Amino acid sequence: MFETAELNRKIPKQEYDAAEPTLRTALLAAQERLKGAKFSAIIVIGGVDGAGKGETVNLLHEWMDARQVDTHAFGPLSDEERERPPFWRFWRVLPAKGRIGIFFGSWYTEPIVRRVFRESTKSELDRALQRINGFEKMLADDGTLIIKWWFHLSKQAQQKRLKSLERDPATRWRVTKTDWKHFKLYQKFRRVSERTLQATSTGEAPWLVIEGSDHRYRSLTAGKDLLDRLTSRLEAGPATPPEKPAPIKHDPYTILDTLNLSRKLSDKKYEQELERQQGRLNQLWRTAKAEGISTVAVFEGWDAAGKGGAIRRITPALDARDYRVISVAAPTDEEKAHHYLWRFWRHLSRAGRVTIFDRSWYGRVLVERVEGFAREDEWRRAYTEINEFEEQLAEHGIALIKYWLHIDAAEQLKRFTEREKISFKQYKITHEDYRNREKMHDYELAANEMIERSNTEHAPWVLVESNDKRHARIKILKALCDRLESAL
Amino acid sequence: MFETAELNRKIPKQEYDAAEPTLRTALLAAQERLKGAKFSAIIVIGGVDGAGKGETVNLLHEWMDARQVDTHAFGPLSDEERERPPFWRFWRVLPAKGRIGIFFGSWYTEPIVRRVFRESTKSELDRALQRINGFEKMLADDGTLIIKWWFHLSKQAQQKRLKSLERDPATRWRVTKTDWKHFKLYQKFRRVSERTLQATSTGEAPWLVIEGSDHRYRSLTAGKDLLDRLTSRLEAGPATPPEKPAPIKHDPYTILDTLNLSRKLSDKKYEQELERQQGRLNQLWRTAKAEGISTVAVFEGWDAAGKGGAIRRITPALDARDYRVISVAAPTDEEKAHHYLWRFWRHLSRAGRVTIFDRSWYGRVLVERVEGFAREDEWRRAYTEINEFEEQLAEHGIALIKYWLHIDAAEQLKRFTEREKISFKQYKITHEDYRNREKMHDYELAANEMIERSNTEHAPWVLVESNDKRHARIKILKALCDRLESAL
């Protein structure tokens, strides 16, 4: 596929000088419109060393309003990055809506380099590219404009370019040993890149291969492509008009109905087991900590199902220094300006820690679905996005466990009434809670589908009969211990 | 000072059980009010190992609404932390307004430990404590409620406690080798702690020493103190009522008037020097990068003084991978929920990078002062806060340089008019710009005072005569090179 980028295309100075001011004006105007738009733009820069990647980025900085552009380069992993799944370093710098992020080096670098140096197999490369496609699709679905440029040079042109850079004392520093090392691997690099570009040139995120030998040609080509893509995205407006929430089909029987809510534990048995399981958890967690294995526990379930109480039976077995309870409330405006998973990525902890989510990313397919905050296409694709997210956590070695705490309507009402009587629990009950009860059936069906779609091997759901708090808490503790045991 | 915390105070179970529910209710109520308040609370936990620090934090988690509380512990520095000034790790996790941050281990740990192990001198300890006082005062001035608890045990009590923890298999893990190592240094640790507490028990951030041997006593004492401090802070309301901006005294002659704005450079000389200085900068920056020395360049000055143009003459000498231009616009809501310096701390880059601020923290004493966005007490204390901030950057080895770009009113008007004619610069001119011209004299006086107060050895101001852009750009490049040269 690179043959068409070896035609030695050139643009004469006169033509360039005539076109440049118009292009700059149009780019600035498009950027102004982007400010007010509800999407961000990502420019991924890849390609052959010496093909003008750095110069193009510098030029974009010169042409555009730098206040809206962030360029990110990715060197060796920091230890904070190494302790999280590989995509964390990209998530943490994704641009907010209205902004442009230039990714100089990106999620493509590692898969390509590893394959060139034979540190990965062909199928590992393909798997990595598949993940990339999922990642880019997810961003694109969220409205992100993804522009990917591959700057190409033929082998001869690259050699010539590197040598000419080396001759000039002002540019000699740009040519590193790595560049020459890569040059020797030109053919391998070319083959792997070709495979990569073919596999990842998708409808929502196509690659543009830019011939890099003539700086005027490559600058205008890149600039015009950016302008075209920005303009057509601005004119297209939002992909799908917001819809009314789809009526939820009422299936009379869900997986939650299979739970035996009469399960109970005596007070005595509870006290014994509580001590036993907390002791066990403490042992396991300390081993996990020493081995740098993190734990993520997700709590979902009905209001008043006892999530908080269950969490408070876990934390005494841990050290306050090493766990965090994230209670998911309304997003901040920085969070709103990103993909909905961004706020969870940013909470991922360093190695060996325990993170407990009191409500989680599943809000997307529960409350956001039922209340119509997310459109149908949004919550439907969320299952895939969430599975992909959790798979990344699991692959990184994080022990992930998800709980659904189930109580029936009568038990819930009883608890609401009780809470109102206990002074320090009153704050937990609002009108909202009673209102939500009316939609209990919708929620139950949404939960049923959620469990069906996201009950994976690496991230299983534990359904907890919670009418009896003692039974629930012990089941939760036991399941957490079992999960840690199998992760160690 | 610890004698009063060695009285073996105890609270009987009955008394505790009677007091606890009331305390919990009141704490939750206070927390509810905090949510809507415009300040955050910080709880600093320090003290003797085994004195119940962890248990108290766990208890607070149990008593309070965990959704509003973040507990942070601080182990060894990560490489991302090591590459920034020491306080960065604390700044990055300061709680937002309405939230509570528990600092389990804090800015006190390192100074105390270093002194106990004789890695620092007495005067170095005092210097560190002075810095802490400045940091806490700054937060307190911004409205933050600072609560500091020191959990104390006598030597005998500590030994007893560590041994009893070790006897119980369920708590044995809590006692580490470090704990016993510290125990052997009990007297040294006690002396250094005493000195620390005395020097840092200030009006805005006093220490409360809590006797740690009886868990009921220490829990109730801590809980009650938290409640008292929260309640009285909530009732006091904002420290100072917002004032009208103080009229600025018009001094007819400022330091800016001493600048010779007729300084010029010919086109030819400019081109020569530009190449020379860019080459020089490139060399210096590469050395700095290799040595891990970061650069921070701050640009302030009149609208249309040429800040952007000057920055664009610097960046071509750098690699887009290694610099960032931060253009300071309106803060996000997460930024607004923190001290005004928080948004700049979060932009500090890793080692060896260049960060260019197009406008900066000086906005506090310029636009915020002149336009009345900051109260007089706020912008007045900002000089101290900013100097302290910059000193920390400098001590960390960051090469810091600050430019004030000066043009006269006639030149500014000329440039505004010109900009309106050039299509791709039109976006830069708004009504606001013309309006600001009316306050030019106020700004000049604010700038004059700013330069006077913040022109320090480690962070000097470079005043740049900018009526002639060529002269300005070369002077800026040269100054940057000189700064780097002296930093290397």
Q: What mean pLDDT do residues A85-96 have?
A: 93
| Residue B275 pLDDT | 95
CB distance B41 to B246 below 8 Å: no
Cβ neighbours of A27 in B, within 8 Å: 424
CB contact under 8 A, B71 and A320: yes
Q: What mean pLDDT do residues B421-435 have?
A: 71
pLDDT confidence of A91, banded at 50, 70, 90? very high
Does residue B250 register a pLDDT over 80? no
Residue-wise pLDDT for A326-335, tens only, equals: 888 788 888 9
Quote the mean pLDDT of chain A.
90
Q: What mean pLDDT do residues B161-185 have?
A: 83
| Residue A242 pLDDT | 54
Q: What mean pLDDT do residues A282-294 have?
A: 94
- To which H or E segment does residue A151 belong? strand A145-152
| Residue A164 pLDDT | 87
CA distance A122 to A109: 15
Among the partner-chain residues A25, A78, A173, the one whose CB lies closest to the CB of B80 is: A78
Cβ neighbours of A84 in B, within 8 Å: none
Does residue A200 register a pLDDT over 70? yes
Does residue B187 register a pLDDT over 80? yes
H helix runs in A37-121, sequence order: 53-63, 79-82, 88-91, 109-116
H helix runs in B205-266, sequence order: 215-236
CB contact under 8 A, B279 and A169: yes
CA distance B325 to B360: 11
Q: What mean pLDDT do residues A275-290 have?
A: 94
Q: What mean pLDDT do residues B43-50 have?
A: 92
Comparing A193-202, A236-245, A288-297, A477-486, the range with the smallest average pLDDT is A236-245
Q: State whether residue A353 is helix, strand or coil.
A: coil
Does residue B264 register a pLDDT over 60? yes
Among the partner-chain residues A28, A312, A427, the one whose CB lies closest to the CB of B62 is: A312
CB contact under 8 A, B32 and A427: yes
**% of chain A exceeding 70 in pLDDT:** 95
| Residue A105 pLDDT | 86
pLDDT confidence of B183, banded at 50, 70, 90? confident
CA distance B462 to B401: 8
| More confidently predicted of A143 and B236 | A143
CA distance B35 to B134: 27
Q: What is the DSSP string of B66-104?
A: GGGEEEEE--SPPHHHHTS-TTHHHHTTPPPTT-EEEEE
Give the distance from residue A77's alpha carbon to the nearest chain B alpha carbon, in angstroms.
10
Neighbours of A238 (CB within 10 A): 10
| Residue A350 pLDDT | 87
pLDDT confidence of B251, banded at 50, 70, 90? low
Cβ neighbours of A24 in B, within 8 Å: 424
Does residue B170 register a pLDDT over 80? no
What's the predicted TM-score (pTM) here? 0.82
| Residue B243 pLDDT | 56
CA distance B108 to B46: 8
CA distance B275 to B34: 57
CB contact under 8 A, B350 and A78: yes
Using CA coordinates, name the residue in chain B closest to A32: B427
| Residue A406 pLDDT | 95
CA distance B254 to B351: 37
CA distance B420 to A342: 40
Give the distance from residue A177's alpha carbon to the nearest chain B alpha carbon, in angstroms.
15
**CB contact set of B414 (below 8 Å; sequence gap of 6+):** none
Computed from CA positions of residues A183, A185, A191, A197, in that sequence, does the dihedral angle turn out positive or negative? negative
Mutate to test the interface with A, among B80, B106, B313, B321 (most CBs of A within 10 A): B321
Quote the mean pLDDT of chain B.
90
- Pairing type for strands A295-301 and A354-358 reads parallel
CB contact under 8 A, A325 and B61: yes
Q: What mean pLDDT do residues A348-358 have?
A: 92
Using CA coordinates, name the residue in chain B closest to A56: B320
Q: What angle do CA A174, B476, B430 make, to 5 degrees?
A: 105
CB contact under 8 A, A58 and B282: no
Q: What is the DSSP string of A281-339?
A: HHHHHHHHHHTT--EEEEEEE-TTSSHHHHHHHHGGGS-TTTEEEEE--SPPHHHHTS-
Q: What mean pLDDT do residues B188-205 have?
A: 92
| Residue B239 pLDDT | 58
Residue-wise pLDDT for A293-318, tens only, equals: 999 999 999 999 999 899 989 988 98
Give the distance from residue B258's alpha carbon to the nearest chain A alpha carbon, in angstroms.
32
Does residue B258 register a pLDDT over 90? no
CA distance A441 to A451: 15
CB contact under 8 A, A322 and B73: yes
Structure-block tokens of residue A338: 């990103």
Give the CA count within 13 Å in the CB-facing half-sphere of B53. 29
Cβ neighbours of A315 in B, within 8 Å: 58, 61-62
Does residue A148 register a pLDDT over 90? yes
CB contact under 8 A, A170 and B282: yes
pLDDT confidence of B300, banded at 50, 70, 90? very high
| Residue B447 pLDDT | 92
CB contact under 8 A, A62 and B312: yes
Best-predicted range by mean pLDDT among A73-77, B132-136, B246-250?
B132-136
CB contacts < 8 Å between A and B, how many? 123
Give the distance from residue A325's alpha carbon to the nearest chain B alpha carbon, in angstroms.
7
pLDDT confidence of B177, banded at 50, 70, 90? confident
| Residue B427 pLDDT | 64
CB contact under 8 A, B67 and A174: no
Give the distance from residue A17's alpha carbon to the nearest chain B alpha carbon, in angstroms.
15
CB contact under 8 A, B66 and A308: yes
Among the partner-chain residues B58, B67, B324, the one whose CB lies closest to the CB of A316 is: B58
pLDDT confidence of A89, banded at 50, 70, 90? very high
| Residue A130 pLDDT | 93
| Residue A306 pLDDT | 94
CA distance B476 to A425: 62
- Pairing type for strands A145-152 and A207-211 reads parallel
Best-predicted range by mean pLDDT among A375-389, A424-438, B218-232?
B218-232
CB contact under 8 A, A71 and B282: no
Q: What mean pLDDT do residues B205-222 have?
A: 94
CA distance B83 to B86: 9
| Residue A281 pLDDT | 96
Using CA coordinates, name the residue in chain B closest to A353: B73
Read off φ and ψ for residue B11, nearest 5 degrees.
Answer: -125, 125
**Contacts within 8 Å (CB) and 24+ apart, A58-64:** A58/B315, A58/B316, A58/B320, A59/A219, A59/A223, A60/A102, A60/A222, A60/A223, A60/A226, A61/B312, A61/B315, A61/B320, A61/B325, A62/B312, A62/B315, A63/A23, A63/A24, A63/A27, A63/A28, A63/A223, A64/A27, A64/A28, A64/A31, A64/A100
Residue-wise pLDDT for A475-487, tens only, equals: 999 999 999 999 8
CA distance B402 to B284: 18
CA distance A385 to B269: 59
Cβ neighbours of A275 in B, within 8 Å: 170
Does residue B333 register a pLDDT over 80? yes
Residue-wise pLDDT for A387-411, tens only, equals: 999 999 999 999 999 999 999 999 9
Structure-block tokens of residue B311: 């920055």
CB contact under 8 A, B29 and A427: yes
Give the CA count within 13 Å in the CB-facing half-sphere of A115. 25
A237: left (phi over 0), alpha (psi -120 to 50) or beta: left
Q: What mean pLDDT do residues A238-257 have?
A: 66
Among the partner-chain residues B73, B173, B325, the one whose CB lies closest to the CB of A282 is: B173
CB contact under 8 A, A315 and B61: yes
Does residue B138 register a pLDDT over 80? yes
